[in-house]
Amino acid sequence: MRGYGFSKFSEEELPKGGFEQLLKLFLELLNYTAGDANEALAWLNELDKQHKLTNNDYGMGDFIEDLKNKGYLSDDDPKGGFNITAKTEQTIRKSALEEIFGKLKKSGKGNHNTSSSGSGEEKNADRREYQFGDSLDQIDMTSSIHNAQINHGIHDFMMTEKDLEVEERDYKTLTSTVLMIDISHSMILYGEDRITPAKKVAMALAELISTKYPKDTLDIVVFGNDAWPISIKDLPYLQVGPYHTNTYAGLELATDILRRRKTHNKQIFMITDGKPTCLKEGLKYYKNSIGLDRKVINKTLTMAAQCKKLNIPITTFMIARDPYLQQFVRQFTEVNGGRAFYSSLKGLGEYIFEDYIKNRRRTVR
């Protein structure tokens, strides 16, 4: 009988050393050090001491030399250290995409049935009778021949227009997305690193759109006391600041960006772990971190309503479980007519990818 033999797993059997294995760990460490190559290498050295990642044939010195030779590191730092290159930035994005999108494909998420469809670009499971104007490539010949045999018999075969069966197809549309990332101080408080998973999701989404949906647009907005756009290449270096949470400023900037986009479908994804606590009034900041400040909340809700008037739905990914925060998110979502997910950090990427892919499909009859 053919089968598989299994042996007891031993940590000692883990492969040690080698450029590819160390590179994977080095890229992961860069996510936690905000792109600081010197700090990541220092951490890698410590891990090597504790877990003996290298061996007598391939040491950390060899790995660093290979990083330089293969274009992952440059030694042009004025302080005498190393900097990561554009190649490394792209490799980090690809790694994040494989990590998140790989899980999505394995779990089967992203497959949604639709209530209506038409002669679009992608086949679905819906079938209907042939109508004048349908293209020939939509006709399901196997089903049509089967219908003809049932309707007219198999001895004297004939096929009429009523036997023809047509495959429905979903339309894909161009989509403009703004991803808002909360970089207030609470994103690293309470013993939980929330900014690193948020960065990973942003990098993976950027890589997905640039490779699979190149006609779509993705803009990244970060918000703390203020809000400002960052480029995709800046994502590995993103850090949390000593900021409050000015959600209003983030939404205002995201809306301004989307107004300039010529695409029909526009949406905002917002990753946050807390309530709005800040507004900018002229050159000063109005701040209140205690409870839900009515002044801050009302202005934020007004901005959500304005987005609704502009047909810009907001999907909020709340990575906090406090009941009063969830109550605010429910009110915010109701005003905007958008969606809300109360997601753990572990499932954040899969939620966002599933929602993005779902939202970029529209169906017509």
DSSP-assigned letter for residue 118: B
Of residues 235 and 125, the one with the higher pLDDT is 235
Q: What is the pLDDT of residues 96-119, one digit of tens each?
A: 888 776 655 454 433 322 233 334
The region of weakest confidence among 16-25, 166-175, 226-235 is 166-175
Whole-number pLDDT of residue 236: 92
Helix and strand numbers (H, E) in the chain are 10, 13
pLDDT at 3 over 70: no
The strand pair at 165-172 and 122-129 is best described as antiparallel
Whole-number pLDDT of residue 169: 64
Whole-number pLDDT of residue 295: 96
Of residues 188 and 103, the one with the higher pLDDT is 188
The mean of the pLDDT values for the chain is: 82
The share of the chain scoring above pLDDT 90, in percent, equals 42
> Residue 301 CB: number of other CB atoms within 10 A?
18
pLDDT band at residue 123 under the 50/70/90 scheme: low
Q: What is the pLDDT of residues 40-61, one digit of tens each?
A: 999 999 999 998 888 888 999 9
Phi, psi of 204 (to 5 degrees): -65, -40
The share of the chain scoring above pLDDT 70, in percent, equals 84
The reported pTM is 0.72
CA-wise closest residue to 199 among 236, 254, 251:
236
Q: What is the pLDDT of residues 130-154, one digit of tens each?
A: 777 777 777 888 888 888 888 888 7
pLDDT at 301 over 60: yes
Of residues 344 and 361, the one with the higher pLDDT is 344
pLDDT at 278 over 60: yes
Rounded CA-CA distance 233/238 in Å is 10
Rounded CA-CA distance 168/327 in Å is 41
